[in-house]
């Protein structure tokens, strides 16, 4: 699955609810998931960390949807940026 396809699935499932909640409160949910991921990593619970990695990714993509950011393009730009790519 590519990033665009995943972002589209997230949009179809969550955009209405998340956009109605608004970017600020949706960002708070994202931060909560980042905290849960950090706790899972700190505790060494790999199974829980796996679930939390997915939670963080979904909330990241929903934030991108609300802000109309194409993450596939954003990642491509990031990788093409020589400042962020020491191999270049």
Residues in contact with Mg ion by CB under 5 A are 33, 36, 52, 55
CB of 83 to Mg ion, least distance (A): 32
Nearest residue (CB) to Mg ion, 18 versus 55? 55
Give the residue nearest to Mg ion (CB): 55
- Which residue, 45 or 77, is less far from Mg ion as judged by CB? 45
Q: Is 42 helix (H, G, I), strand (E, B) or coil?
A: helix
Radius of gyration of the chain (CA): 15
Q: What's the count of helices (H) and strands (E) in the chain, helices before strands? A: 4, 0
């Amino acid at each position: 699955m590519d990033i665009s396809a995943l972002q589209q699935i997230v949009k179809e499932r969550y955009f209405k609810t998340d956009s109605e909640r608004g970017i600020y409160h949706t960002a708070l949910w994202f931060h909560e998931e980042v905290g849960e991921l950090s706790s899972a990593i700190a505790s060494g619970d790999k199974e829980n960390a796996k679930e939390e990695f997915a939670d963080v990714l979904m909330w990241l993509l929903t934030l991108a949807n609300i802000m109309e950011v194409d993450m596939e393009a954003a990642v491509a730009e990031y990788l093409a940026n020589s400042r962020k790519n020491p191999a270049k």
